[in-house]
Structure 1
Amino acid sequence: MTPVLELKDAAVRYRGTAADVVADVSLAVEAGESLALVGESGAGKTTLLRLLLGLARPTAGAVRFDGAGLNPRDREQMRRFRRSVQCVFQDPYSSLDPSRRVGAIVAEPLRSLGLDSRSTAAPKVAAALERVGLQADAVDRYPHEFSGGQRQRIAIARATVCDPRVLLADEPVSALDVTTRVKVVDLLAELKQERGLTLVMVSHDLSVVASLCERTAVLERGRIVEQGATSQVLGEPGHPYTRRLIESVPRLPV
């Protein structure tokens, strides 16, 4: 089976730096699976997510979508890619335009991709908000009228309104309190199951990774040092760095 997204020997070096931020990364994301990218801050997780989202280009290697190299100059390919791959960002307070009503925010992908007009988008927006547990009257309200967890649900509605195949999530629950975090994780699991979403998630929270992701890739200083089934990687880590990550998780004293 051809992976829906793939990195092949990918490297990124930012202008003015002497070393690669990520180097020699090969990673395949199969349709319908859930993959976590874990590692310390600065390990290169968000850079990999930017590559997979098409927001950054590799200085070496390739990014592939449905087996073909991702080419920003190929307008037809990029249109299919943008419809198929959507993202939920870390901070629900900054990822939503405070000057726009929720209905317009959620409808934005439909209109920017040329899928719907304002009138034809309305039923899809209502359905997307309902899927994430928000009432129909949310469309007429502004982001500041909602709690942090509700804002992240709005962001998830926006990302899924155009029925993408892949959802990329950059620390989607780290800005939320513990109780709200659990509810949003449960929501992502439900959407993945019901809609057959492929999920790629960056997370520092190994408990979230264990509950949501089938596979895990561990990054250290821009390189993948271990990857495989999450139960194996977190349960029986084979690399010293992975063991250190697991040992650093805070635990209540017995």
Structure 2
Amino acid sequence: MTPVLELTGVAARYRGARTDVVSGISLAVRPGESLALVGESGAGKTTLLRLLLGLARPTAGEVRFDGAPLAPRDREQMRRFRRGVQCVFQDPYSSLDPRRRVGAIVAEPLRSLGLDSRAGAAPKVAAALEGVGLPADAAERYPHEFSGGQRQRIAIARATVCDPRVLLADEPVSALDVTTRVKVVELLAELKRERGLTLVMVSHDLSVVASLCERTAVLEHGRIVEQGTTAQVLGAPGHPYTRRLLDSVPRLP
């Protein structure tokens, strides 16, 4: 099966930096699977997510979408890519424009991709909000009227309104309290199951990874040191760094 997203020998360096942020990265994401990227802060997880989103370009290697090299100047390919790959960001407070009503926020992918007019988008927005457990009249309200968990549901509705194939999530529950985290993780699992979504998630929370992701890749200093099934990586880690990550997880006495 052709991976929907693939990194082959990828390295990336930010402008002005002397060293690569990530290097030697080879990673394949197959349709319908869920993959977690884990590691300490500064390990390169978010940089990998930016590469997979097409927001950063590699300084070496290749990013592929449906088996073809991702070409930012290929407008037709990028239009398919933008519709097929959407993102949920970490902070539900800063990722939603406070000046716009929720309906306009959720409809933004439909308008920017030319999929629907403002009037035509309304039923899809209502369905997307219902799909994340929010009432249709939420479309007429502003983000500040909602709790953090509800705002993240709005962000998920925005990411799924155009029926993407891949959802990339950057620490989607880290800004939420424990009870709300559980509910949002359950929502992501339900959306993945019902829609056949492919999920790539950056997370520090190994309990979230264990409950949501089938595969895990562990990053240390910009390199993948271990990858495999989540049960294998977290249950019987083969690399000392992975064992240190697991040992650092707080446990009740």
> Shorter chain as normaliser: what TM range?
over 0.9
TM-score of the pair, normalised by structure 2: 1.00
For 1:104 and 1:79, locate their aligned partners in 2 and report how far apart those are by CA, in whole Å.
21
- In the alignment, which residue of structure 2 is the partner of 1:153? 153
Q: Kindly provide the amino acid, as one letter, of the partner of residue 135 in structure 1.
A: P
Q: Kindly provide the amino acid, as one letter, of the partner of residue 45 in structure 1.
A: K
- In the alignment, which residue of structure 2 is the partner of 1:116? 116
Q: Secondary structure at the match of 1:6?
A: strand
Identity %: 88
Q: Secondary structure at the match of 1:61?
A: strand
- In the alignment, which residue of structure 2 is the partner of 1:191? 191
1:251 aligned onto 2:224: no
1:179 aligned onto 2:179: yes
**Equivalent residues in 2 for 1:40-189 (5 A)?**
40-189=40-189
Q: Post-superposition shift, 1:18? A: 1.4
Q: Kindly provide the amino acid, as one letter, of the partner of residue 228 in structure 2.
A: G
For 1:231 and 1:38, locate their aligned partners in 2 and report how far apart those are by CA, in whole Å.
14
For 1:75 and 1:118, locate their aligned partners in 2 and report how far apart those are by CA, in whole Å.
23
Q: Post-superposition shift, 1:136? A: 1.1
For 1:15 and 1:169, locate their aligned partners in 2 and report how far apart those are by CA, in whole Å.
25
For 1:136 and 1:70, locate their aligned partners in 2 and report how far apart those are by CA, in whole Å.
36
Counting matched residue pairs gives 253
Q: Kindly provide the amino acid, as one letter, of the partner of residue 130 in structure 2.
A: E
Q: Kindly provide the amino acid, as one letter, of the partner of residue 73 in structure 2.
A: R
Q: Kindly provide the amino acid, as one letter, of the partner of residue 183 in structure 1.
A: K
Give CA-to-partner distance per residue, 1:146-194, whole Å, 9 cap, x none: 0000000000000000000000000000000000000000000000000
Q: Kindly provide the amino acid, as one letter, of the partner of residue 225 in structure 2.
A: V
For 1:46 and 1:227, locate their aligned partners in 2 and report how far apart those are by CA, in whole Å.
17
Q: Secondary structure at the match of 2:187?
A: helix
Q: Secondary structure at the match of 1:3?
A: coil
For 1:77 and 1:133, locate their aligned partners in 2 and report how far apart those are by CA, in whole Å.
33
**Equivalent residues in 2 for 1:2-13 (5 A)?**
2-13=2-13
For 1:42 and 1:57, locate their aligned partners in 2 and report how far apart those are by CA, in whole Å.
18
**Displacement over 2 Å in runs of 4+:** none
Q: Kindly provide the amino acid, as one letter, of the partner of residue 173 in structure 2.
A: V
Q: Post-superposition shift, 1:13? A: 1.0
Q: Kindly provide the amino acid, as one letter, of the partner of residue 110 in structure 2.
A: L
Give CA-to-partner distance per residue, 1:193-223, whole Å, 9 cap, x none: 0000000000000000000000000000000
Q: Which runs of 5+ in 1 are unaligned?
A: none
Q: Secondary structure at the match of 1:26?
A: strand
For 2:55 and 2:116, locate their aligned partners in 1 and report how far apart those are by CA, in whole Å.
24
For 1:56 and 1:206, locate their aligned partners in 2 and report how far apart those are by CA, in whole Å.
26
For 1:190 and 1:201, locate their aligned partners in 2 and report how far apart those are by CA, in whole Å.
15
Give CA-to-partner distance per residue, 1:106-140, whole Å, 9 cap, x none: 00000100000011100000000000000111000
TM-score of the pair, normalised by structure 1: 0.99
- In the alignment, which residue of structure 2 is the partner of 1:39? 39
Q: Post-superposition shift, 1:82? A: 0.1
For 1:4 and 1:192, locate their aligned partners in 2 and report how far apart those are by CA, in whole Å.
15
For 2:176 and 2:243, locate their aligned partners in 1 and report how far apart those are by CA, in whole Å.
27
For 1:110 and 1:179, locate their aligned partners in 2 and report how far apart those are by CA, in whole Å.
32
Please give the root-mean-square deviation of Cα atoms over the aligned residues, in Å: 0.3
Q: Kindly provide the amino acid, as one letter, of the partner of residue 85 in structure 1.
A: V
For 1:54 and 1:17, locate their aligned partners in 2 and report how far apart those are by CA, in whole Å.
20
**Equivalent residues in 2 for 1:209-220 (5 A)?**
209-220=209-220
